[in-house]
Amino acid sequence: MFNPDDYRFLLIDSIERLRSKADSNHGEDLYSQGRQMAYYEILNEILINADAVGLTPKDVGMEGFDPESLLSTRKAA
């Protein structure tokens, strides 16, 4: 049966896990840098889509999060 709370939990939990993985990835090598770019792309797209349907970053568990920070704080290989 359709339960909106289940979908909300799935969305928020997935975003929290993605953010955690992105924060723990330090871009030490090209593979890690590629993963960091993927995290950026995914999390940025979530914010864009949330805005398109009238949701705030807080609504999707991303209050105060700037996806650009994933790109600017990593070391170059």
pLDDT, tens digit, for every residue of 10-19? 999 999 999 9
Identity (one letter) of the amino acid at 72? S
Contact 19, 43 (CB under 8 A): yes
pLDDT at 77: 47
pLDDT value at position 20? 92
Q: pLDDT per residue over 23-76, tens digit each? A: 898 888 999 999 999 999 999 999 999 999 999 999 999 999 899 988 865 454
Task: Sketch the domain layout of the chain as residue ranges.
Answer: 24-77
Distance (Å, rounded) from C-alpha 76 to C-alpha 32? 11
Instruction: Give the torsion through C-alpha atoms of 5, 23, 34, 12, to 10 deg.
Output: 0
